[in-house]
Amino acid sequence: MNRTQILSAKQIQQKLNRIAWQIFESNYQESSIIIAGISGNGFVIAKRLTSIIKDISDLEVLLTEIKINKKEPFNSPIELNIQEKDYNGKVVILADDVINSGKTMIYGVKHFLNVPVKKINTTALIDRKHLRFPIRTDYAGLVLSTSIKEHVAVELGENEGVYVE
């Protein structure tokens, strides 16, 4: 398999630091925000963003994981480990590692529309811009022009990096 490294571990951390600052600067007047990570790498990204925001500010950040069937999000219930009262009237930041078609992200956003939230923003480490749904990233680490046949692999933790295959 032919793979090209797009981001190293150091570059991923730099992108996450920048995104965290952007989130903070856009929400510094809030008493608290919710960062909701799509299960898998999206939740890992959300945890890292939460940690950075807590280090750079006094903003209270509530972290939650969105458990969603990425293949068929419309046929499965979406699960969160927080209650609706916890995000009612709050700013919600939805995080994932890669936004490709936008399907997973739009269904994640849909879940939060059952409650009157103050604002919903989205963030992804990689935005491929192959959107088929009316959603965009508010905070993107890297906008990457790829062909639809290429695959973007995000590896977090050991051997961290972003690769195009």
Q: What is the pTM of this model?
A: 0.92
Model confidence pLDDT, tens digit, residues 2-23: 889 999 999 999 999 999 999 9
DSSP string, the chain: ---EEEEEHHHHHHHHHHHHHHHHHHHTT-SEEEEEEETTHHHHHHHHHHHHHHHH---EEEEEEEE--SS-TTSS--EESS-HHHHTTSEEEEEEEEESSSHHHHHHHHHHTTS--SEEEEEEEEE-----SS---SEEEEE----TT--EEEE-STT-EEEE-
Q: Note the pLDDT tens digit of each residue in 97-145.
A: 998 878 888 888 888 888 899 999 999 999 988 777 778 899 999 998 8
d(C-alpha 93, C-alpha 89), whole Å: 13
How high is the pLDDT of residue 149? 82
What's the CATH architecture for 15-147? 3-Layer(aba) Sandwich (3.40)
CB atoms within 10 A of CB 116: 11
The confidence score (pLDDT) of residue 22 equals 98
**Domain range list for the chain:** 15-147
140's tokens: 């993107």
